A and B are shown apart, each in its own frame.
Chain A
Amino acid sequence: MKARVTVMLKDGVLDPQGEAVRLALTGLGFDGVRGVRQGKVIEVDLATEDRAAAEAEISRMCETLLANTVIESWQVELP
């Protein structure tokens, strides 16, 4: 089962990369951009086909390695 983890900087944490992307978009003439936040997507291919087990396992992965919970939040999508 493939889990898709999205890691984003928490609201209120400055995102210099997102800000650089926003400025570049504005420079290209995209006037309607109010903000850009950049995060990362991590796909984890799990051996289990049990949704509950997958969710529990991936949550532990996020808390211990995939996200730095001091500054980042995470979300998991399962098929």
Chain B
Amino acid sequence: MKAAVLVFPGSNCDRDLAVALRGAGADVEMVWHKETALPEGVDLVAVPGGFSWGDYLRCGAIAARAPVVPALRRHVERGGYALGVCNGFQVLIEAGLLPGALMRNAGIRFVCRTVALKVTTAHSRFTAGYRTGQSLSVPVAHHDGNYFADAETLRRLHAEDRVAFTYGEPVNGSVDDIAGILSANRRVLGMMPHPERAADPALGLTDGAALFRGLVEDAVPA
């Protein structure tokens, strides 16, 4: 599998994401936000965590209008895989590639700790390496991870089995404890927790590794 990791000014989990993807066997290229095309043959676009443009205006808002984003949009519309982690999830939402909004944490504070994360559906390439209902330990580190969506969007997300992960404990006030959601074609995943920080025994946590493994080994080209 060929993966592209987007890099914005202020991204700081881009290399971690690349290491996790390479660890799972992907061929990874870093792509600067000013590029207007993705490398030939990319199967997965990964949007990393960090503080793109210093979180100015709204988290992910300016990155979502960067020159590379139309290429990401075409990739997604073609049925390509995309993964957004933390600020990357905020970017995918701001770009309109996933529904809802991510607001300031209900407790106002920046939350930085390992949390219990429940796999809500194993029905996606991202989560096929887990059992539905399985509990994982994955770190979060964010100020704006409070997922919000209107009642109709929430109803659709649940009805279509598109909630990928929920928190197993109070974290940020997200509606229905939502930590990660899938697109309608199940090929775009946005999540606030950092699986790339839990993908190597050297990091002390390994529960995130199966996400990258499943994606890299079993992805079906678009």
- Residues on A facing B (Cβ under 8 Å): 13-14, 16-17, 20, 64-66, 68, 70-71
Most buried by A among B57, B65, B94: B57
Is B210 engaged at the interface, CB distance under 8 Å to the other chain? no
Could you tell me the distance in whole angstroms from the C-beta of A50 to the nearest C-beta in chain B? 26
Is B58 engaged at the interface, CB distance under 8 Å to the other chain? yes
Interface contact A13-B103, CB-CB below 8 Å: yes
Is B106 engaged at the interface, CB distance under 8 Å to the other chain? yes
Interface contact B61-A14, CB-CB below 8 Å: no
9 contacts between A and B (CB under 8 A): A14-B173, A16-B103, A16-B107, A16-B173, A20-B108, A65-B61, A65-B62, A68-B58, A71-B101
Interface contact B106-A14, CB-CB below 8 Å: yes
Residues on A with C-beta less than 8 A from B105 are: 16
Is B104 engaged at the interface, CB distance under 8 Å to the other chain? yes
Interface contact A70-B104, CB-CB below 8 Å: no
Is B32 engaged at the interface, CB distance under 8 Å to the other chain? no
Contact A16-B108, Cβ < 8 Å, known A68-B101, A70-B100: yes
Q: Tell me which residues from 61 to 79 in chain B have a Cβ below 8 Å from any Cβ of chain A.
A: 61-62, 65
Residues on A with C-beta less than 8 A from B148 are: 13, 70-71
Residue of B whose beta carbon sits closest to that of A67: B58
Residues on B with C-beta less than 8 A from A64 are: 65
Most buried by B among A16, A64, A65: A16
Interface contact A65-B104, CB-CB below 8 Å: no
Q: How far is the CA of A65 from the CA of B105 in the complex (A)?
A: 22
Could you give, for residues 93-113 of chain B, a 1 whenever the CB lies within 8 Å of some chain A CB and a 0 otherwise? Answer: 010000011011111100000
Q: How far is the CA of A17 from the CA of B103 in the complex (A)?
A: 11
Residue of A whose beta carbon sits closest to that of B106: A16
Knowing that A16-B108, A17-B108 touch, tell me 16 more A-B residue pairs with CB under 8 angstroms: A13-B103, A14-B103, A14-B173, A16-B103, A16-B104, A16-B106, A16-B146, A65-B57, A65-B61, A66-B57, A68-B94, A68-B101, A70-B100, A70-B101, A70-B149, A70-B150
Q: How far is the CA of A72 from the CA of B94 in the complex (A)?
A: 13
Q: How far is the CA of A68 from the CA of B62 in the complex (A)?
A: 12
Residue of B whose beta carbon sits closest to that of A9: B103
Q: How far is the CA of A13 from the CA of B146 in the complex (A)?
A: 11
Q: How far is the CA of A65 from the CA of B101 in the complex (A)?
A: 14
Could you tell me the distance in whole angstroms from the C-beta of A74 to the nearest C-beta in chain B? 12
Residues on A with C-beta less than 8 A from B58 are: 68
Q: How far is the CA of A20 from the CA of B65 in the complex (A)?
A: 31
